[in-house]
A and B are shown apart, each in its own frame.
Chain A
């Protein structure tokens, strides 16, 4: 742990701490909403430990609370989480080696940890950012959820605090440097447009997946040997 803290700049650590704090507050709202919608006290806490994926958890609880089919709730949650497969290929090398690191590191894979890792300039920093953000968010998220589940009506409306805008802004700020590259920017803009266009019609999770079509659009413009990253270490596309 100490070497992780030495690797990361104080600035990055502060950024991660802020994201953990906001994550904790959203966790409080998740716990509160779940319990106040009539579901048992233990459910939000079990979900947060076992699933650890905010969007999927909210959708799962939303369907269950409205008396929906459990299979539909599981399928909806899984659909939202399919994006972790391509995530894993992008950041899989920062988890470290060994069974334990692979198992624990995989469980910590969420939008924020992936975005923080991608925003770092070399592999060592990517690894440190991934693990720090992952462990911090896991603790804060679960702590927040438990607090919300027990305390009842602490924060029910995170929209009033503007947290619904803070979260996309976090990811946007982290992704922005990667968009400086033309091919990536073109792919991202195309993908985002496809996702937004599909969102009113398709079940949640699917629009984001369809965004990958943006990569195909950008592929044509990309020469086969455009990366000189032969040793797999420092010179990633990011930055």
Chain B
């Protein structure tokens, strides 16, 4: 079993590293002025990353296909969002669809 000290040090290193990643953008932005084009690219990059998080979190779990219930739930939520349904409805529909399909035995 790993010692407590190892766990604390590992946690702190992960925490400090993560903070450095988070801090880099905001602090560099205060020193340099971004051109509108770079500004636009930054926003686009964030949207692309979030879309990639959505896609992988929907389809992949631990390097393998996540099953059908989860993508079905996200698809229902996405469709409702596209049809401008309220956010609450989108989130609940996604969860209920996935949970319901699993109750029915869909993996």
Q: Which residues of A contact B (CB under 8 A)?
A: 11, 14-15, 18-19, 22, 38-40, 43, 46-47, 50-53, 56, 60, 64, 67, 70-71, 73-74, 77-78, 81-93, 95, 97, 102-103, 105-107, 109, 111, 114-115, 118, 159-176, 178-179, 183-184, 187-189, 191-196, 199-201, 204, 207-209, 211-212, 214-215, 218-219, 224-230, 232, 236-238
Contacts and interface: CB of A to CB of B under 8 A. Distances in A.
A232 B99 CA distance: 44
A212 B11 contact: no
Nearest to B58: A168
B37 A227 contact: yes
**Majority DSSP secondary structure for residues of B touching A:** helix
B11 A47 contact: yes
B97 to A, nearest CB: 7
Given A50-B12, A84-B21, A179-B51, 9 more contacts: A50-B15, A56-B14, A159-B98, A163-B95, A166-B73, A172-B54, A196-B60, A212-B48, A225-B37
A218 B8 CA distance: 43
Contacts of B36: 227-230, 232
Interface in B1-51: 1-2, 4, 6-15, 17-19, 21-30, 34, 36-37, 39-51
